[in-house]
Amino acid sequence: MNWNSLDAWWWPFLYIGIAGWIATDMWRWLGVLVGNRLRDDSAFLIWVRSVATALVAAVIAKLIIYPNGELANFPLWLRIGSAVIGFAVFLVAGKRPWVGIGTAIILIVVGRVLTTG
């Protein structure tokens, strides 16, 4: 039962509905119900959050190291270098996201223009 299993028009929407919509909203609904009953520093919640954060970190690393689409044509050292320097500047500039994002974007654009000549 994968994405291409059925030729019906509704199949991709059902696939998105189950593997996307329900898979995300069940946590939101559970979050509402759990609400303030779960203490913010309970060990279980910290473990759950650590696993979740590491999952997102893996997504971030894969988007930079093994990207899809046009970004794959940018040199690997430029992608990693721009991300690392952008992140360092973000930390130094008082954890303001726009500073880090701006730095990383400028670096990768300039780097790409220079490397393609």
Q: Closest CB to another protein among 77 and 109?
A: 109
| Tokens read off for 32 | 């509402």
- Least Cβ distance, residue 117 to another protein (angstroms): 13
Secondary structure (DSSP) of the chain: --TTS--STTHHHHHHIIIIIIHHHHHHHHHHHHGGGS-TT-HHHHHHHHHHHHHHHHHHHHHHHS--GGGGGS-HHHHHHHHHHHHHHHHHTTS-HHHHHHHHHHHHHHHHHHHH-
State which residue, 2 or 8, has the beta carbon closest to another protein.
2
User: Nearest approach, Cβ of 33 to another protein (angstroms)?
Assistant: 8
- Give the nearest distance from C-beta 15 to another protein in angstroms: 6
Residue closer to another protein by CB (options 47, 77) is 47
CB of 81 to another protein, least distance (A): 12
> In terms of CB distance, is 19 or 77 closer to another protein?
19
